[in-house]
Amino acid sequence: MSDSERETLQGALTNVLSNASNYPENVQSRLLGQDMGPLNAKVADAVLALGFRLPVSAGAEPEWEYGTKYQIDDKHHEFTLAHSETQARKWASQSPTDTWLHRRNPAGAWIKVEPETN
């Protein structure tokens, strides 16, 4: 584990270990006003010895999600989420004329994408 990962772990532990109310009453009086660094380091060592590692990020979330929306009738539609913009465009081009490409940012509403014109 790198020094920065160890510092991240110790930072998270500090929030718990430095709060005296997390300990039994007879221990609280011994901890109040004390340097918690040595205890923090020992707990970090124990956590690391058990195999703790910071999670590896899968990468940035995509800016947009894509899908196709097929209008069945005035009140109903079918939506299919695609793995990529390319896949969604392919589905939209191979589908009936009332199928539209849509996109959204992962937390937002779906937006109709106008067809490309050449």
pLDDT at 62: 63
Confidence check: pLDDT of 118 > 50: no
The string of pLDDT tens digits covering residues 14-67 is 777 777 667 788 877 777 777 878 888 888 888 888 777 766 655 666 677 888
Domain ranges (residues) in the chain: 3-49, 65-112
pLDDT at 16: 73
Q: Are 20 and 28 in contact (CB under 8 A)?
A: yes
Strand partners, 99: 70
The string of pLDDT tens digits covering residues 78-102 is 777 787 888 888 877 877 666 777 7
> In the 8-state DSSP scheme, what is residue 95?
S
The mean pLDDT value for 100-111 works out to 75
